[in-house]
Structure 1
Amino acid sequence: MGRAEIWSRSVEQTACYVNELPKLPVPPLERTLQKYEKTLRPLLNEHEQERLHKIVERFGAPGGLGPKLQLYLLDRREKTDNWAYEYWLNDMYLNYREPIPVNCNPGMVMPPRRFTTILDVARFAARLVDAALDHKEVLNWKGLEVERATSREPGQPLCMAQYYRILGACRIPGRTRDSQYVAPPPRNGEQLAEHIIVICRSQLYCVPVQAGDRGRLTEDEICSQLLYILDDAPCLPNPPPVGFLTGWKRSLWAEARADLMKDEINQRNLDLIVKSLLVLCLDEALPNTFNCRLPRGGKGHAAGARDETNLAHQMLHGGGSAHNSANRWFDKTIQLIVSGDGACGLCYEHSNAEGGAVIQLVEKLWKHAESLPLSSEVPNGGHLPPPERLEWTLEPADLKRIEEAGAVLDNLIKDLDFQVYRFTGYGKDFIKSCKVSPDVYLQLALQLAYYRLYGKLTATYESASIRRFRLGRVDCIRSATPEALAWVAAMAQPKEDDIGNKKVTFHLVSDEKKLLLWGEAVAAQTAEMVDNILGQGIDNHLLGLRQAARETSPTAATPLPEIFTDPTYRLANKFLLSTSQVATSGNSFMGYGPVEPDGYGASYNPKGDSIVFCLSAFWSSEVTSTSRFAQALEESLNAMQALLLRPS
């Protein structure tokens, strides 16, 4: 069978699966409004709940604005593949104006390697690139196996679109809204030219790795190109760190980029970066003492080997201007990071794909790179021209912008309170033995931990995959349910307290009652999760209604409906707890920053007998602390186990 025939059959098969994917539904308006009121109930007092009810009632009344906007969305659903996708993408990512490192880009830590020579570094990195080229070839021929749902109506095909938007993709800053570049697929039988960008000691190099007419470089040839860079970059004076601009506020970076593009050399450089397959960052190690500011109530970094928190900082942002942050191009979807001391990982721009798709790719690359021992034989690539080092034409105004961007990035990094916390008391094996979904269990653990610290719940974001639908990405599972509040309040009640010389004993909730409340909280969280993955979440729907109001308003000055201008809407979308499950198959993990100044980021990765949490906050906040949150999590997880193991 010829390759063109394979391509044709593969495209046909993929198209078949795409066509059989249903369109994302528009949930019933009345149900969304009821759920919206319910999700705010734990966050509002009775007076505020009554006021919200009247606002919602007016919005959803027959003949009111809500039903008209619902019809607009239903019409949009008929005319588009996914009525919510553009709304969601713009609102979640492309309209965002703050710096994307820490705030948006996750970092992934892979198990550290042991490099003894510079050849080891080049050889391992070359294998990663070689594996990426293998994967890109599969993408070019539309050869990815279509995944299918494993639960909740199992067997349904899942949308694979985001898997094709990872390699060769880049975010491009705009003054008011960013855009995305995604490499076009090859025409029938065409072999595309491919190149990567390698950054070492702040120097950017373009390395062609596949020519349209001569095929691709071998692993040895890629290795020889990387050896040249590792030898060349340390001998050069430090260049202006242009990469800092990608960590600046988006509108400022857009203005700076527009000025850079006025020069033909700069324009070509930027085009090469945008259209590269990926960026490979050849880093220097962060010192053990990096970010060793004592956590509140915790301990500093241990002496000796770098700890996991230190490694995570390197992958998230590079360590600032004194370390590796100029070795980044934060707009690029995939930045593979290989450090001379063996630290390895990834920083990725989030707008093109979710963590699951990216983790799957990165683990595939690492599995290939680790499959064979590193060869000590020096590769022979002498017939190749050396990689092209990118040089920039910079005016004084450009240099000033780079300096300002670096200062903003440094301040952001200094403010990041980040901790990798491994809970070793138990893991998903125990949780499953309790007949509870690990995701549901850990979401409730996070609610209990937050309540222990603050005596209340907060709007909580958990990403829910909606890949059962055409172009589906995510909706929001809201874990702060009324049922969760009732359970955490019972679990966190004090047993007794001293007031002056008088001892006060509280009316304790029995364990039987706690278990009953636990069952109700589990059921509510499970229902919320299922609703979301089946396309019945409320966040995309409310966003769609808001955007529909804007698109149908008589003038730009027409105010939005009250439901979207009332303070309760801001409260509902102020996610002081931003969470997601980022499961990995090995000993790797992924984390990210908080989305609010006084909030937490909390990713979790359940293993058989442990749970890895990546907790983040900002030091500048007077109310948050990852060390205190980790302690509250430990207490909560232990209390939950004790409750579920109590003698019957």
Structure 2
Amino acid sequence: MQKYIKTLQPLLSEDEHEKIKKIVEKFAGEGGLGRKLQLYLLARREKLDNWAYEYWLKDLYLNYREPIVINSNPGMVFPPRKFTTILDVARFTARLIDAALSHKDILNRKALPIERATSREPGQPLCMAQYYRILGCCRLPGKVTDSQYVAELPNDNEQASEHVVIVCRNQQYCVPIQAGDRGRLNEDEICAQLLYILDDAPCQSNITPVGILTGWKRALWAEAREDLMRDEKNRRNLELIEKSLLIVCLDEALPASFNCRLQKGGKGFMAGNRDESNLAHQMIHGGGFQFNSANRWFDKTVQLIISGDGACGLCYEHSMAEGVAVIQLIENLWKQAELLPTASEVPSNVGSHLPPPEKLEWFLEATDLKRIEDASQVVDNLVKDLDFQVFRFTGYGKDFMKSCKVSPDVFVQLALQLAYYKLYGKLTATYESASTRRFLLGRVDCIRSATPEALEWVMAMSQPKEETDYDIGNKKVTFHLVSDDRKYELWCEAVKVQTKEMVDNILGHGIDIHLLGLREAAKDTCPTAATPLPELFTDPSYRLANKFLLSTSQVSTSTNSFMGYGPVEPDGYGASYNIKTDHIIFCLSAFWSSEVTSTSRFAQSLEESLNAMQVLLNRPNGT
């Protein structure tokens, strides 16, 4: 509770802060309801593997009722491939599928090595549960709350049957890639199946783009799915999709004019004449109904995306696993596919003994078609509203930050605080995900970067220069309101506090999961509508503390790839970052409909902030 009070300090006026202190005292003091709720959580801990997991999963993901496209699902961009023929597309995709099947075999044998912490009490084993919830799993829509289909691992020595679903031109094809009676398909056989799809899909008419429904509001999608399930053929289609190992989306390239804007920073890589921001849009949402947004199944944990112009990436559903687990898997698949030597044509007789891929045919009524139309409009509006850009800051990277004896993550978090303050003259509640995998079923807690110490530092850094009337010789002297020495002292204090906040979270001493538990415990113990939540959770300060206008995360990759996502608030920013040796890749997002946000202005402020920090730390005796 004391940490919570401090968290609110930079966000509230003095009167509001005094009020929350009294509310906390009433809640947490002797005889307060908080003490009883804490006992409830302690009892819950004794009964469950992880007392918080179900609370957290529902609150962050499954109870969410808005579309998950842009609002929840991240997109990942890989360096583009050079495809010269349709065979190149099929061959590379076949290698990814084959690598995924090999990885699933490791999971089926429960042979995935246990990872261990490398810092902050190094050597602790990390929970691997989410690594087993990536392949073969799917989110399922519900009218009130969603659920998850999690594939069961086969029994020992049992040959699992596996299939993938390929989506091409908004149509789904089922490709069995491993069966108990005939083993697994080899690369050539998978490639032949993909070539069949790439040849067949453009010839189809009366296409029914059912996939767009997965981008609709969750309750509406749940209702639509329920109606689809009444038909036996539809029911089987849904089961094949939801239980597939993964989905591969064979896309059409977005036009270069899509998201046409001046991109700030280094250009990075391109696919044809398309820049990185254009590629990111394709991976996050597909570009709208006119392009690839119906060529998706947004509920599926893994959707590999391959475009004919060489653009490659991923869209993933977030409820099953964090980015670190998904990125590690996908990067391994990519590396395996790239290491193999260039292959020749697929022999003409390869796969002739196999049935062709099964095109999933849907039985749709007029109400289903109207829903597809309505869902398309919702997705298109979301796509049009997304203000997204990839900003490569090339001034410096991890090496310089470490030379300043500062954690690179702490460094960037404080840069984000300074950038926000320079634009808005205040700080906002900031979310940064912190892995809690040292605990069984642990996922993430929230590192809060908007500390009182950060506020003092950014205020000092943002002070204007004040000129005096004093002249020394022929020169006019400019005095700063805050000296550089003082700015450096405030910087050191902000770094110290931010570092402690980061370490506290990964060691299990964050406040957000605990606060969520106390709130849900109040609902569990007083479940009637007539019994209000404690004032702690109904006071406006609680909403303010959880209104993350700055939603951030460090998304590290071993390749030159990056991941981005949308904001979590209408007037907020999404800001993922990938810190490389000599540069930083930022993926910045906002909504055009907001009158207060702009990724272009934020990128400009971020660049100025990072440069100002370098000047401060490079000055004599500054480090």
From 388, 395, 398, the equivalent of 2:358 is 388
1:295 CA displacement = 8.2
Q: Which runs of 5+ in 2 are unaligned?
A: 469-475
Aligned to 1:237: 205
Aligned to 1:418: 388
> In 2 relative to 1, CA 341–137 (structure 1 residues): closer, same or farther, beyond 3 Å?
same
Paired letter, 1:447: Q
Determine whether 1:468 maps to 2:438: yes
> In 2 relative to 1, CA 513–345 (structure 1 residues): closer, same or farther, beyond 3 Å?
same
Aligned to 2:482: 509
From 175, 192, 195, the equivalent of 1:207 is 175
Q: 2 CA distance for matches of 1:247 and 1:613?
A: 25
> In 2 relative to 1, CA 423–298 (structure 1 residues): closer, same or farther, beyond 3 Å?
closer
1:61 CA displacement = 1.2
Aligned to 1:543: 516
Q: 2 CA distance for matches of 1:163 and 1:291?
A: 34
Query: What is the SS of the residue equivalent to 1:440?
Result: helix
From 479, 494, 497, the equivalent of 1:524 is 497
Paired letter, 2:379: L
CA contact (8 A) 2:80 2:271 kept: no
CA contact (8 A) 2:420 2:602 kept: yes
CA contact (8 A) 2:264 2:603 kept: no
Determine whether 1:479 maps to 2:452: no
From 558, 565, 576, the equivalent of 1:592 is 565
Q: 2 CA distance for matches of 1:296 and 1:451?
A: 20
Aligned to 1:30: none
Aligned to 1:140: 108
Superposition pairs for residues 92-491 of structure 1, below 5 Å?
92-292=60-260, 305-379=273-347, 380-491=350-461
CA RMSD of aligned residues (A): 1.9
Query: What is the SS of the residue equivalent to 2:319?
Result: helix
> In 2 relative to 1, CA 293–256 (structure 1 residues): closer, same or farther, beyond 3 Å?
farther
Aligned to 1:12: none
Q: 2 CA distance for matches of 1:374 and 1:167?
A: 27
| Residues 275-312 of structure 1: CA deviation (Å, up to 9, x unaligned) | 0000000011111001226789999x999611000000
| Residues 327-371 of structure 1: CA deviation (Å, up to 9, x unaligned) | 100000000001000000000000000000000000000001111
CA contact (8 A) 2:259 2:277 kept: no
| Residues 558-586 of structure 1: CA deviation (Å, up to 9, x unaligned) | 10000000000000000000000000001
CA contact (8 A) 2:173 2:358 kept: yes
CA contact (8 A) 2:265 2:392 kept: no
Paired letter, 1:258: E
1:178 CA displacement = 0.2
From 607, 618, 623, the equivalent of 2:580 is 607
CA contact (8 A) 2:551 2:573 kept: yes
CA contact (8 A) 1:120 1:376 kept: no
> In 2 relative to 1, CA 544–224 (structure 1 residues): closer, same or farther, beyond 3 Å?
same
> In 2 relative to 1, CA 237–268 (structure 1 residues): closer, same or farther, beyond 3 Å?
same
Query: What is the SS of the residue equivalent to 1:559?
Result: coil
Aligned to 2:473: none
Q: 1 CA distance for matches of 2:529 and 2:515?
A: 20
Equivalences, count: 611
CA contact (8 A) 2:28 2:35 kept: yes
Using structure 1 for the length normalisation, give the TM-score: 0.92
Query: What is the SS of the residue equivalent to 2:233?
Result: helix
1:542 CA displacement = 0.3
From 67, 81, 86, the equivalent of 2:54 is 86
Paired letter, 1:443: Q
CA contact (8 A) 1:99 1:247 kept: yes
Query: What is the SS of the residue equivalent to 2:503?
Result: helix
Aligned to 1:75: 43
Paired letter, 2:526: S
| Residues 419-438 of structure 1: CA deviation (Å, up to 9, x unaligned) | 00000000001101111100
1:505 CA displacement = 8.2
Q: 1 CA distance for matches of 2:481 and 2:488?
A: 14
Aligned to 1:637: 610
Q: 2 CA distance for matches of 1:403 and 1:130?
A: 36
Aligned to 2:597: 624
Paired letter, 1:324: N
1:607 CA displacement = 0.3
CA contact (8 A) 1:440 1:525 kept: yes
> In 2 relative to 1, CA 125–218 (structure 1 residues): closer, same or farther, beyond 3 Å?
same
CA contact (8 A) 1:156 1:468 kept: yes
Aligned to 2:532: 559
CA contact (8 A) 1:100 1:247 kept: yes
Q: 2 CA distance for matches of 1:196 and 1:629?
A: 41
Q: 1 CA distance for matches of 2:482 and 2:101?
A: 60
371-380 vs 469-478, which deviates more? 371-380
1:237 CA displacement = 1.4
Q: 2 CA distance for matches of 1:302 and 1:137?
A: 35
CA contact (8 A) 2:446 2:505 kept: yes
From 573, 577, 581, the equivalent of 2:554 is 581
Q: Which runs of 5+ in 1 are unaligned?
A: 1-32
Superposition pairs for residues 11-90 of structure 1, below 5 Å?
33-90=1-58
From 569, 592, 599, the equivalent of 2:542 is 569
> In 2 relative to 1, CA 640–296 (structure 1 residues): closer, same or farther, beyond 3 Å?
closer
Paired letter, 2:216: W
1:506 CA displacement = 7.7
1:557 CA displacement = 2.5
Q: 2 CA distance for matches of 1:436 and 1:427?
A: 12
Q: 2 CA distance for matches of 1:257 and 1:344?
A: 29
Q: 2 CA distance for matches of 1:475 and 1:482?
A: 20
| Residues 64-122 of structure 1: CA deviation (Å, up to 9, x unaligned) | 10000000001111111101000000000000000001000000001100000000000
Query: What is the SS of the residue equivalent to 1:325?
Result: coil
Q: 2 CA distance for matches of 1:199 and 1:595?
A: 28
CA contact (8 A) 2:574 2:590 kept: yes
Query: What is the SS of the residue equivalent to 2:603?
Result: helix
Q: 2 CA distance for matches of 1:169 and 1:641?
A: 45
Paired letter, 1:641: Q
Q: 1 CA distance for matches of 2:265 and 2:118?
A: 42
Aligned to 1:16: none
| Residues 263-286 of structure 1: CA deviation (Å, up to 9, x unaligned) | 100000000001000000001111
Q: 1 CA distance for matches of 2:34 and 2:539?
A: 15
Q: 1 CA distance for matches of 2:249 and 2:220?
A: 24
Paired letter, 1:208: P
1:554 CA displacement = 5.8
Q: 1 CA distance for matches of 2:465 and 2:265?
A: 24
Q: 2 CA distance for matches of 1:554 and 1:346?
A: 41
Paired letter, 2:134: I
Using structure 2 for the length normalisation, give the TM-score: 0.96
